[in-house]
Amino acid sequence: MHVNIQNLIDNAYCYAMVRQLRLAEGTQCPFCDSKHIIKRGFDDKEPARQRHECKDCGKRFDDLTGTIFAAHHQPLKTWILCLYFMDLNRSDVQQMTTQFREGVEKKEDP
């Protein structure tokens, strides 16, 4: 999957990407593996996070239930951006860090 870094700062895009990757074969309950699922609106604090309910076991879940992203205080876009940067070459990161530091130091000079 090709990802544009500009999209990674958009939480709605990040949720859509997680849904696409996680639910490639359709939505299924992370508790009982049933595919009898209905949508139950969106999260109050994260409006891009889709809620679901399993018609078989009755449990509710959302896009992040059962993932490493669940129950963390950082927004999903922060996690996705971190994953993006983990894929960079070490020398590229070193060069970017050096340029960033030099740019900050120049801005701080009176």
Say what the pLDDT of residue 33 is: 93
Residue 77's contacts (CB-CB under 8 Å, 6 or more residues apart) are: 8, 9, 10, 11, 14
Q: What is the pLDDT of residues 10-35, one digit of tens each?
A: 889 889 988 888 877 788 999 999 99
Query: How many domains in the chain?
Result: 1
Q: What is the pLDDT of residues 64-90, one digit of tens each?
A: 998 888 888 888 888 888 887 787 788
Indicate whether 109 pLDDT > 60: no
Say what the pLDDT of residue 94 is: 82
Give me the domain span that covers residue 26.
Answer: 5-108
User: What's the whole-number average pLDDT of the chain?
Assistant: 84
